[in-house]
Amino acid sequence: MSRQIRIKSKTRFCIFLTVVTALFVLLIAAIWNGGKAAGDTHWIQVEIAEGDTLWRIAERTLPPHTDIREYIRQIRKVNGLKNSNIRAGQKLLIPIYVSNGNPLN
């Protein structure tokens, strides 16, 4: 017993498909962008000075409304650090987020 589906209103069906497609695209964009607001990510290279910690570096470059722990995780991931141990003279890539051409830090 297969049930046949009949479209009663082509207009409503087209609107439905448009809305579903838009929601799907927004979901994929949010996942692709890691849940961050739209904008570009630029990278700066920082040389570690004696006594520097990832926390202090993150505090200096932290974008507004960003969890510092997540920001440090991202710095560690990009630089291939298994833990937060860094040494003087080491160079790290630090993400700097830009929105509408204006740096957020």
What is the mean pLDDT, run by run of 10 residues, along the chain of 105 residues? 85 94 90 62 87 90 86 91 89 77 44
- 61 vs 71: CA distance, rounded Å: 9
Q: What is the pLDDT of residue 105?
A: 42
Q: What is the pLDDT of residue 104?
A: 45
Burial of 101 (0-12, 13-18, 19+ CB in 10 A): exposed
Q: What is the pLDDT of residue 35?
A: 55
Nearest to 97 by CA among 43, 57, 41, 34: 41
Q: What is the pLDDT of residue 91?
A: 93
Q: What is the pLDDT of residue 37?
A: 54
The overall pTM is greater than 0.75: no
What value does the CA radius of gyration of the chain take, rounded to a whole number of Å? 22
CATH no. of 40-103 = 3.10.350.10
Q: What is the pLDDT of residue 36?
A: 56
Cβ(38)–Cβ(81) below 8 Å:
no
Q: What is the pLDDT of residue 39?
A: 57
Q: What is the pLDDT of residue 34?
A: 63
